[in-house]
A and B are shown apart, each in its own frame.
Chain A
Amino acid sequence: MEEVTLEIAEKMLEAAERWAALAGYPSSIAVVDKAGAVIAVHRMDGAGPMTTDISINKAFSAVYAGAPTLMLARMIDPRTAGETLGSGGLGLLTQARLRLMFIPGGNPIRNDEMKVIGGIGCSGVPDGVGEISDTTVVQAGYAAIYEEYD
């Protein structure tokens, strides 16, 4: 697979929305392409308006960093200062015209050759409350690709 199509994006969103609904938190979920540009985004009924932009930016950040936003969160976490990026981690904050997100819930989409071909982001499910978090939801979306192509 070389790129994420709208059709695949819709399948990913559907699976991810199912998990967000299961968690009981209406959320926004976004899928972006390898350029970080939106392919599809849905805001579930009842989700806060800010969740759309946050989910888009999480997906973008995952592509831009080539890593989950969970890792970006670690990079600026004061408790781990110096371990990942030295003391300069805070310099990330102003990157990408302030679009970088440091909240877990955005993952890159990789193909078989581990090349980043897109990103998926979710916002709306609180972390550390239940068993399902934003990260779980995007992983469910990611898994939907393989349900289709196995």
Chain B
Amino acid sequence: MGIDIATAKKIIKAGIQQARKMGNLCSVAVVDDRGFLVALHRMDRAPIPTVDIARDKAWTAATFRMSSSEIVKFGDPAAPGYGFNTQNGNDRLTTIPGGLPITDGNEVIGGVGVSGGTPEDDVAVCRAGLAAVFAAD
């Protein structure tokens, strides 16, 4: 079951609020459980490439069902799986932190991706977005 547009908008709104508080200019993207884009907002004057980077992070988090920073473990030459980043069929795979899966119970229903600040800031913006929607859980 994929995320709906109303929830996606709430996540983005809360995320942008957090980014503004931190003084960052960000794009925030939400994709559904299949990795397809549901909604994306770019703050005024945020750099243009943040649009695609945010979307890529959300895609990576949703389809691998793990945060985009965890993908880094597959890039370690000493570990099995090294080189899998070259199997990137649709050019969306990214290992930059700032993408988190959106889970409802045990089920991944989508992903949120943020680009515009440092990777740590971006993760904080993701978390703020998710906290606004799933605070009651």
- Which residues of A approach B to under 8 Å, CB–CB? 5-6, 9-10, 35, 37-45, 49, 52-53
Question: 0/1 per residue, B79-103, Cβ < 8 Å to A?
Answer: 0000000000000000000000000
Interface positions of B from 32 to 91, Cβ below 8 Å from A: 32, 34, 36-44, 48, 51
Once the chains bind, are B39 and A42 in contact (CB under 8 Å)?
yes
For B9, B16, B36, the residue with the greatest tally of chain A CB atoms inside 10 Å of its CB is B36
Chain B residues near A6 (CB, 8 Å)? 16, 41-44
- Please give 20 more A-B residue pairs, beta carbons under 8 A apart, in addition to A40-B40, A41-B39, A43-B39: A5-B44, A9-B41, A10-B41, A37-B42, A37-B48, A37-B51, A38-B27, A39-B42, A40-B39, A40-B41, A40-B42, A41-B40, A42-B5, A42-B39, A43-B36, A43-B37, A45-B6, A49-B34, A49-B36, A52-B37
Residues of B within 8 A of A37 (CB): 42, 48, 51
Across-interface contacts of A9 in B (CB, < 8 A): 41
Q: List 13 A-B contacts (CB under 8 A).
A: A6-B16, A35-B48, A37-B42, A38-B27, A39-B41, A42-B5, A42-B9, A43-B36, A43-B37, A43-B38, A45-B6, A49-B34, A53-B37
SS class of chain A's interface: helix, strand, loop or mixed?
mixed
Query: How distant is the Cα of A73 from the Cα of B39 in the complex, in angstroms?
Result: 27
Q: How far is the CA of A38 from the CA of B54 in the complex (A)?
A: 12
B104 within 8 A of partner (CB): no
Complex CA distance for A62 and B21, rounded to whole angstroms: 34
Residues in B neighbouring A49, C-beta threshold 8 A: 32, 34, 36-37
| Contact of B120 with A by CB under 8 A | no
Q: Does B4 contact A (CB under 8 A)?
A: yes
A38 near B40 with CB under 8 A, answer yes
A40 closest partner in B (C-beta): B41
Q: Measured between C-beta atoms, what is the minimum distance from B29 to chain A in Å?
A: 9
CA distance A44 to B36 in the complex (A): 12
A-B interface, 5 closest residue pairs, ranked by CB to CB distance from nearest? A49-B36, A37-B48, A52-B37, A38-B51, A40-B41
Q: Which residues of A contact B4 (CB under 8 A)?
A: 45
Within 8 A of A (CB), among B5-22: 5-6, 9, 16
Contact residues in A for B16 (Cβ distance below 8 Å): 6
Q: CA separation between A146 and B36, bound complex, in Å? A: 32
CA distance A6 to B43 in the complex (A): 6
A37 nearest in chain B by CB position = B48
